[in-house]
Structure 1
Amino acid sequence: MSNATPPFSISASMTHSIANISEALGKISALYSPATIEHYKQQKLTSIQMKNSEFQFTVSDLSSPDSLLALHRSLMKDQSEKSGRYREQGLALKNGLQMAPQAIRVPKMVEELFAWFNTTNHHPLISSAVCHYELQFIQPVAQGNTELACVWQTQQLSQWHTLFSLLNIHNLIAATRQRYFESINLSTKTGDSSVFIEYMLETLLSALDILESDLKSITKSQTPQHPPQVKNTIHLDIQAPQVIALINVFNQSEKPLNRQELQNQLGLKDRKHFRERYLKPAIDAGIIEMTIPEKPNSKMQQYRLKS
């Protein structure tokens, strides 16, 4: 990093991935109850795969160099003298990583990185990925840099959206380890972390797809019958995810909602897609109704569960 602003550019692929991730987050939040999500989290916390200090470390602020070192201290198993301290020597890097900056430059580089992170207007999915890459480039500590960068990003994204607390980025990259380090190396060679950002966004989207599949399995095992507040006489596949998601939004609301409010709750931006896949099937099935049925195109139109 040659200056206080990390070098990267925004691509069409990133924009597309961010939209898909946002929609996936909205869909999962609307489709599955907090109880189901908590049940899934507890299952993961008690599994061998997730028994590590990453899920024991929670702080309200991870946006300063000191908090980064505190995180490293918590991750180090042996609590050695190198725990929670910047490295003081050069590193013999593995996995094909390029040469790390001189140790004497590390504190300043980390300080500049966090100064940028705390003031940037870029989307959290972008800024957290940029910092992840930069931490791998700087290699701030003597050992554990990969885990440190992964856990830091996991915690930052969890503060942006709670569903990311169900993911473990360190485990996610293990499945594509070669691509992970290749994207870091290519970004370093080009002096632009865009390749790494694209890789990270794709990885997060794939993880959310798997998360949704896991939650769906839990839901089926817990509630094999029809979802609550839906009549068995409705001649429609009411188990369709879109219909269930819409029902859950109304179940969590104490008042009728307009189209835009419903789309926001579901994390959907495409009006036509929402109308054709969510709204119209639910209305046709008699699950929801308009508050102004005589004026279906009214700007004041709202919707509610049909009693």
Structure 2
Amino acid sequence: MREYSPLFNMSDRMINLLTEISEEVGRVSVVLSGKMNPLLRKENMIKKVYASLAMEESDISFEQIRGFIYGGNPIDNHKDMRVVKNLYEAYDMSFKLNPYSINDLFFAQKMILSGFTIESAEFREDKAENNDRVIFDSNAIPSRFIPGAVRDIFEWYKKAKLHPVIKCAIVYHEFELLQPFAVGNGPLSRLWLDLLLCKWKDIFFCMSVENELYYRIQEYKELTYSIGRPEESDKFIEFILETILFTLKKAQIEEKIPVWGKESDASFTTGDSIKWEMPLGSGMTVNDEKTVGREVSDGSKNTAVNTNNKTSENIFAKRLGNALGNEVLTTNEIMLRLGMTHKPTFRKNYLNPAIEMGLVEMTVPGKPRSRYQKYRKIS
């Protein structure tokens, strides 16, 4: 019997991406050392759930998901609430799964589908008409090959001597090609990609590759249409590697998560002095101690502190402008790109300064809180 070999050819582009990914993993590991707490992981699981569902064209908002996870605030649609609960719980327990186990794959699929009327969480079967003539999508792999193919993929992953990250990308590619289940393939494939990455380096618990995939959803869809042909499969794997690299480059600890783990909007009263964690790559020192608005003995404001705050505003505003690029985006879309979840912090530290500095403008300037409001970068 011929040994299984995935459909790809190692390219120079893949090698260069793997080199960059390794460098970024080293950088992020140092910066995150000692700072990966349960709250940070929870925030990123919420982002993963939101982005993964958004890729399935779900209209559940980030605020709904976060409110439900933190406070149990019900989501209007009971089905949506069940979807969020199931996927969040699957991410929460994924570190306990064996990434090479078909039984664990079934278990994760059953978790995602829990509470829904689904005939089976087993591998899909080709449909049969009343006359028992088997029919299937011409673009789909016939179902009789699925069990053996999944088993071969897992065995290959365990034995292959390739870099772990490219093996993760290849497994994701194979899942997208096979579409092994009748429903739920997208969220399950992304869950398994996350699981494999986290098994390789635990820093991926604290970042969301799903977010970056969602940012690039159109390119992602175009590539999946042609998946299965050698050259197109290589492009898809390169795309996944790029996505992982961009996720690492954007990796950050948000300023709203203080070191003691209690959530805050990073807006402190006069005289407060706290230690807080700044976004990585912002040009500021992580875990730097800031004194906010402290008054000196003569009653005047500390000039150094005010200058420091102004510098922070400039940095945040420029980061927002870079996140916008040449696109016109909503508040939620910009926050997703920045990896932020707390809207008051975003408005106070990023959006308002950027507008005041003339870097960003509203598409509906007369109604700042309009539901149709979007923002564009001023050239």
Tell me the TM-score range normalised by the shorter chain. 0.5 to 0.7
8 Å contact kept, 1:183–1:195: yes
Shift of 1:46: 6.3
Aligned match for 2:89, one of 20, 38, 53: 53
In structure 1, C-alpha distance between the alignment counterparts of 2:217 and 2:16, rounded to whole Å? 23
2:243 corresponds to? 203
Shift of 1:220: 5.7
In structure 2, C-alpha distance between the alignment counterparts of 1:118 and 1:36, rounded to whole Å? 28
1:148 corresponds to? 188
In structure 2, C-alpha distance between the alignment counterparts of 1:217 and 1:5, rounded to whole Å? 41
In structure 2, C-alpha distance between the alignment counterparts of 1:54 and 1:169, rounded to whole Å? 16
In structure 1, C-alpha distance between the alignment counterparts of 2:221 and 2:239, rounded to whole Å? 10
8 Å contact kept, 1:130–1:197: yes
How many residue pairs get matched? Answer: 221
Tell me, yes or no, if structure 1 residue 217 matches structure 2 residue 279. Answer: yes
1:217 alignment partner AA: P
CA gap of 1:62–1:183, structure 2 versus 1, over 3 A, is: same
1:120-169 alpha-carbon deviations (Å, 9 max, x no partner): 11111111111111111111100111111111010011010001112333
TM-score, normalising length: structure 2: 0.52
8 Å contact kept, 2:209–2:247: no
Shift of 1:192: 6.1
**Percent identity between the two aligned chains:** 22
In structure 2, C-alpha distance between the alignment counterparts of 1:222 and 1:80, rounded to whole Å? 48
8 Å contact kept, 1:147–1:170: no
Alignment of 1:29-48 (within 5 A): 29-35=29-35, 38-45=38-45, 48=62
Aligned match for 2:162, one of 122, 131, 136: 122
2:236 alignment partner AA: F
In structure 2, C-alpha distance between the alignment counterparts of 1:61 and 1:141, rounded to whole Å? 19
Shift of 1:221: 8.2
Alignment of 1:77-116 (within 5 A): 77-90=114-127, 99-116=139-156
2:111 corresponds to? 74
8 Å contact kept, 1:18–1:125: yes
In structure 2, C-alpha distance between the alignment counterparts of 1:14 and 1:75, rounded to whole Å? 32
Q: Over the residues paired in the alignment, what is the CA RMSD in angstroms?
A: 3.0
1:164-206 alpha-carbon deviations (Å, 9 max, x no partner): 1123333332221121122233342336621111101111111
Tell me, yes or no, if structure 1 residue 27 matches structure 2 residue 27. Answer: yes
2:13 corresponds to? 13
In structure 1, C-alpha distance between the alignment counterparts of 2:36 and 2:92, rounded to whole Å? 21
1:57 alignment partner AA: M
1:182 corresponds to? 222
8 Å contact kept, 1:8–1:192: no
CA gap of 1:3–1:185, structure 2 versus 1, over 3 A, is: farther
In structure 1, C-alpha distance between the alignment counterparts of 2:247 and 2:89, rounded to whole Å? 21
1:44-66 alpha-carbon deviations (Å, 9 max, x no partner): 45674575234222224111222
In structure 2, C-alpha distance between the alignment counterparts of 1:64 and 1:142, rounded to whole Å? 19
CA gap of 1:144–1:60, structure 2 versus 1, over 3 A, is: closer
